Amino acid sequence: MKRREAEKEMEERQEAEMNKKKEEADQLFHLYQQEKDKKRNQNARDLAELHLRQAQERKDREREVRDNEAQEVHRDKETNEIERQQFQDYAGRVISYMDENERNTYPLKKVYNEEMKRFDDLSQGYRRTG
């Protein structure tokens, strides 16, 4: 009888010890899973932040390209106006000189009108884009 009680007591002790070890293992596994989940969530947040930062950088680059294009169109428009004015002044002086010397100015006036139309067409193009 004593032997059975001793064996039973020993089995209960071993079972309690096994349950305790199992509980500790479960706790460790649970902590490991929590750390794993925490790391996965942090990686997901980091990736989301990276995507947002890349999207913002892309928007900034696109805005910069648009601004640069607008500045280039503006500079081209100003250059066109300067060239138009210079051509107008020069052609006017040449035509006046030819008129004073009683030379045929028709070809010069024809070229002048064609060039002025070209300058106007360029200006219209700048108005549409800029």
- Quote the percentage of the chain above a pLDDT of 70: 96
Would you say residue 6 lies in a domain?
no
Torsion of CA 79, 83, 85, 90, to 10 degrees: 160
| CA–CA distance, 53 with 46 (Å, rounded to integer) | 10
> What pLDDT score was predicted for residue 112?
92
Do residues 126 and 76 touch, judged by C-beta distance below 8 A?
yes
pLDDT values of the chain reduced to their tens digit, one per residue, 130 residues: 788 888 888 899 999 999 999 999 999 999 999 999 999 999 999 999 999 999 999 999 999 999 999 999 999 999 999 999 999 999 999 999 999 999 999 999 999 999 999 888 888 876 665 5
Would you say residue 100 lies in a domain?
yes
The DSSP H or E segment spanning 47 is: helix 2-100
Number of domains in the chain: 1
Would you say residue 112 lies in a domain?
yes
User: Containing domain of residue 66, as a range?
Assistant: 37-129
| CA–CA distance, 84 with 78 (Å, rounded to integer) | 10
Q: How does pLDDT run across 31-44, given as a tens digit for each residue?
A: 999 999 999 999 99
Rounded (10°) angle between helices 2-100 and 106-129: 160
Would you say residue 91 lies in a domain?
yes
Q: Which residue has the tokens 């648009």?
A: 66
> What pLDDT score was predicted for residue 35?
96
Would you say residue 19 lies in a domain?
no
